[in-house]
Structure 1
């Protein structure tokens, strides 16, 4: 539906939402009423707000159970707008492709998180640090057969044929994707809408990151989380293709002083609002250069530590 496509592209267009509410009301969907009520709320006098808020709460309580009828049971709704699911988490399973495909049919889902189990919605970084340190480092050998996933890796080829072009945010954190999985994943992005990508602890390494950043459709990324991916200065240099980055997480990587210099040479350096470099092994000279860099914004909230 054209109006749904327009709302996905411009989710803050209140006029379009009002027009969409007409269509919902015509087919007896209570979310049409919810849109009208929630749009009235900011214009309501403080004395009248409690009554309107109760009316909204009663409407949601009465109808919410039916609003997710089109979603698979394996999907967990994490965020809504006007009753419509906008952010969904899915646990990786043998039928993950079918589940995600069904999720992406929902009209306004633009944020997707894939997790290794249902309990991963609230991950504990410290616990993952301990698990990581105990794992066999052989999994990082890049001289492997690209034709099959390595033991312990998720076979992201299970997602083959999916169109992730509707997504504006994708979270794969704590999934063992691997560099070869990242290369495959890059091909699933067929539009330039993605603005946030979370790859913490995904083992993508420099090779996988280079494959992702080489994809023109990802050039518009604003937020990128790459904590603990065994990245080096080469990985940082591949980020130079992402000129619009404003938030970058490079914690727990092996950047070295060369990585710090590559970061300062990036086209997005002057636009960063958040930068995480804790435990990234940039060295004393790297810390000094970062601290004295004239092209980093004065208000940048950043963290680094010389190890």
Structure 2
């Protein structure tokens, strides 16, 4: 179903309360119970009296309990709503399988679906569970260890151009999966890219950064991967990053230097790293780097 101009506005600006009020009127004409839900939730944002707030919340809860199952039934089979706004799915989750790309394409036709979570399918999860441990992903020479085998083929068939958040956390796709994702059709609209615990190394990070498909990313979650200093240097292609999580990657002093030299260094609002990730020499580099904002330099001086 093609989005109306008002629906497209709300996809782009989901916090526009006036637009939601106008959309409530549209839904009322269609006898859609979400019209009443929007009305109640908008009133709740304006109400200051405790008694009225409790009454409104109670009615919201009853209305949601009555209709949410039928509202979620608008999603394709195999697609789960994991976040909602006024009863509409805004983030959906899909377990990876040969059918996943088609299911995702259909799910993204939802009126306000702009966030996607891709989870490992059964075969991939079983293989990962068999090999997974809390041990480091690096050997005694600080070189990345091989990942367990799994299926992550088909990423190149994805078209994620219509979403703002792509979440693959804990799906151990490794460099092959990252390369497939780099080849996926996309209009570069993703602002949040969550790749925590994905087993991606420097080659995969370089492929994602160089693809141009994720040039709009502001928040990059790369915790506990297999990144080295070389991989951090490749991240420079993500020129618009404001929040960066690189914890539990052994990037060393070379990685710290690469961060300092990155084009986004001066725009960083949040940088998550541990002392052991960058080494003592890396801490000193970050603490004295004029390219970093003052608050970040101060943080590293206190480490």
What TM-score does the superposition give when structure 1 sets the normalisation length?
A: 0.82
- Matched positions, count: 286
1:112 aligns with 2:79: no
Which residue of 95, 106, 114 maps to 1:91?
95
Map 1:14-29 → 2, pairs under 5 A = 14-29=17-32
- The equivalent residue for 1:276 is 272
The SS at the match of 1:248 is strand
| Structure 1 residues not aligned, in runs of 5+ | 121-126, 141-150
* 8 A Cα contact 2:245 2:273, kept in partner: yes
CA distance in 2, matches of 1:188, 1:111: 16
- The equivalent residue for 1:210 is 206
Q: What RMSD over aligned residues (CA atoms) do the two structures have, in Å?
A: 2.8
Map 1:12-161 → 2, pairs under 5 A = 12-46=15-49, 47-116=51-120, 129-130=134-135, 139=146, 152-157=149-154, 159-161=155-157
What TM-score does the superposition give when structure 2 sets the normalisation length?
A: 0.83
The SS at the match of 2:14 is coil
Using the TM superposition, give the Cα deviation of residue 8 of structure 1 relative to its aligned residue in structure 2, in angstroms: 0.9
1:111-150 C-alpha deviation (Å, 9 max, x unpaired): 11112269x9xxxxxx75349579xx7636xxxxxxxxxx
- The equivalent residue for 2:8 is 5
| Structure 2 residues not aligned, in runs of 5+ | 126-131
* 8 A Cα contact 2:220 2:241, kept in partner: yes
Which residue of 253, 256, 259 maps to 1:257?
253
1:29-74 C-alpha deviation (Å, 9 max, x unpaired): 1111111221122222414222222222221122111101122343
- The equivalent residue for 1:169 is 165
* 8 A Cα contact 2:287 2:300, kept in partner: no
CA distance in 1, matches of 2:136, 2:107: 31
Map 1:185-264 → 2, pairs under 5 A = 185-264=181-260
- The equivalent residue for 1:181 is 177
Using the TM superposition, give the Cα deviation of residue 221 of structure 1 relative to its aligned residue in structure 2, in angstroms: 0.8
